[in-house]
Amino acid sequence: MPYTSYNAYIVQTNGAVLLAMVILNYLIFSFNIWPLTYIFDAMFIQCLGKKFLLGKQPVRPNTPTPAPKGQQSNHMFADFLNFKKEKAINPTSATPSIPAPSTSVPNTSVPSPITSSASSLTSIFDTGSNSSFDISPQRVFSTLSNSVAPRNSTFNSAVPKLKFAPCIKPPLRPSAHRERIMWYMNRTEEVVADFRIEQILELKKNWTKFNDRYSSLFYDRLLLVLYEKIFSPLANAIEHFDVILAKKNQSLVKSPSVTIALSLVIPGFNNNADFTVSEVVDFLALQNHTDEESMIYVKNRILDLSKSNKLAGFRYTPKSAGMPSDADIMLHVLEVYLSLKEPMAIPPLVPPPVNFFKFLLTYVYVTPELDHWNIFENASPK
Residue 175 covered by a domain? no
Residue 174 covered by a domain? no
Please tell me whether residues 86 and 215 are part of one structural domain.
Answer: no
- Taking the model in full, what pTM does it have? 0.55
Please tell me whether residues 273 and 331 are part of one structural domain.
Answer: yes
Please tell me whether residues 298 and 198 are part of one structural domain.
Answer: yes
Mean pLDDT of all residues in 221-249:
90
Please tell me whether residues 126 and 220 are part of one structural domain.
Answer: no
Give the structural domain span for 76. Answer: 6-57+68-96+116-149
Q: What is the pLDDT of residue 34?
A: 67
Please tell me whether residues 226 and 291 are part of one structural domain.
Answer: yes
Do residues 298 and 289 make contact, with C-beta atoms less than 8 angstroms apart? yes
Residue 382 covered by a domain? no
Do residues 320 and 311 make contact, with C-beta atoms less than 8 angstroms apart? no
Q: How many domains, the chain?
A: 2
User: How long is the chain?
Assistant: 382
Cβ partners under 8 Å of residue 200, min gap 6: 172, 350
pLDDT digits (tens, 9 = 90+) for 202-215: 999 999 988 888 88
Please tell me whether residues 144 and 186 are part of one structural domain.
Answer: no
Do residues 56 and 39 make contact, with C-beta atoms less than 8 angstroms apart? no
Please tell me whether residues 191 and 130 are part of one structural domain.
Answer: no
pLDDT digits (tens, 9 = 90+) for 247-272: 878 888 877 777 777 777 677 677 77
Burial class of residue 236, CB neighbours in 10 A (0-12, 13-18, 19+): middle
Of 149, 164, 190, the domain-final residue: 149
Please tell me whether residues 126 and 187 are part of one structural domain.
Answer: no
Residue 227 covered by a domain? yes
Residue 168 covered by a domain? no
Residue 78 covered by a domain? yes
Mean pLDDT of all residues in 283-308:
92
Please tell me whether residues 193 and 258 are part of one structural domain.
Answer: yes
Among residues 50, 130, 69, 133, the alpha carbon closest in space to that of 96 is found at: 133
| Alpha helix positions (H), 126-269 | 137-147, 154-158, 182-185, 189-206, 216-226, 232-247, 256-265
pLDDT digits (tens, 9 = 90+) for 315-374: 989 988 899 999 999 999 999 999 999 999 999 999 999 899 999 999 999 999 999 999
Residue 331 covered by a domain? yes
Please tell me whether residues 120 and 249 are part of one structural domain.
Answer: no
Residue 154 covered by a domain? no
Mean pLDDT of all residues in 193-222:
91
Please tell me whether residues 123 and 194 are part of one structural domain.
Answer: no
Burial class of residue 39, CB neighbours in 10 A (0-12, 13-18, 19+): middle
Please tell me whether residues 18 and 126 are part of one structural domain.
Answer: yes
